[in-house]
Amino acid sequence: MRIKALALSLFIFVLPVVKLYAAADAPSEIGDVIGHYYTTDIVADVDGMAIPSYNIGGVTVIEAEALDDYGFAVIWDENARIVLISTLPLPETTPPVAHRKGKPGKVMGNVLHTDIMVNVNGCYTQSFNIGGKTVIPIEELARSTGEHWREKNYNAGLGYSNGGFRAVWNAEKRTISLQCLRPGLALETPYGTAVVERMVGDWHKGAADDIPAVVIWPGIDGGDQDSAYFFDMDAVRKMTDALVAVRDGTLHIDSADAGARHSVPRPSGTVSVGNNYNPLLRFDAIINGENAFLYGFVLEDSLFVSFPALRDALNIGSVI
């Protein structure tokens, strides 16, 4: 489905980390009571699928384990005491949870101190124990990386957090929706409409001469090493004098001189950017006047295009 413009009553936000309980107040014993959780009149959903929610300190939380039914892999590592969560395609069936509103402010139970950590798409998030269930704040999944250990939010150009989320709050209806980058999602980008082919949890950045590059493994075509390389489209455009534009939501690339031959070396000095979670996108494009498609990444505000597409479209020699 295509993400459409939202009404003015909706707010998309990428929030700083929410600290519900000060570190100084944190008890030393696992299982100690550190507060209460309450009923809420806020209806929560994950990509349009209703999910039970609670109120802790004015923040909406959801059960981490329940995400297994919402298109996520949820793995419990008992030795490390950590819940590992990663986004998958949408489930074939919608979880049977009806949208419901409760009367807010009723104490449902105690919030307990826990040593269990939760990592969602490479990002550690705050977690709490309520009645043996681990809950996490929706808003924190959509937080910006300004308060995060990572260097940058490479999903900023798409309007998502570095973990691949954004939260949409509707004040009039009192709903909060967690929207997720995941395989199969169609979305508008600064470079035209694209579909998420897969999510990439680790990649390297480097350069080939003066052309910024991204390296992933495995590549798009598995064993084809050239398909593991992506180059900054703006730098390639300057090198080849190619014409690049977005018209009616479609990416157009035209070679200025079909007879010219260019080449780029293999990217060098590649450095891992850590556990990122960024979408590999498939763009429908028009290349030299013909319908085509290409794979690429939108990282911050830059488009990185797969080398095979550049090779075929702009007559660029193979990576050495």
Instruction: Give the Cβ contact number of residue 23 at 10 Å.
Output: 6
Model pLDDT, residue 11: 42
pLDDT of residue 259: 58
Q: By mean pLDDT, which of 95-104, 122-131, 311-320 is the weakest? A: 311-320
pLDDT higher than 50, residue 295: yes
Q: Residues 43, 161: one domain? A: yes
pLDDT > 70 in the chain, percent: 83
Tell me: do 298 and 215 sit in the same domain. Answer: yes
pLDDT at residue 148 greater than cutoff 50 = no
pTM of the model: 0.85
* Helix (H) / strand (E) containing 307: helix 307-314
Residues 159 and 61 in one domain: yes
**Can you give the pLDDT at residue 108?**
94
28 pLDDT band, cuts 50/70/90, is: low
Domain-located, residue 35 = yes
Q: List the domain range (segments joined by +) for residue 23.
A: 10-180
Of residues 140 and 225, the one with the higher pLDDT is: 140
Please determine, for residue 45, whether its predicted confidence score (pLDDT) is greater than 90: yes
CA-to-CA distance for 262 and 318, rounded, in angstroms? Answer: 9
Q: Quick check: 204 and 214 in contact, CB under 8 A? A: yes
Q: Is residue 53 part of a domain?
A: yes
* Number of structural domains found in the chain: 2
Q: Does 162 share its domain with 200?
A: no
Q: How far apart are CA 197 and CA 185, in angstroms?
A: 8
pLDDT at 69 over 50: yes
Residue 4 lies inside a defined structural domain of this protein: no
**DSSP-derived pairing of the beta strands 123-125 and 72-77:** unpaired
Poorest-pLDDT segment among 16-20, 60-64, 222-226, 263-267: 16-20
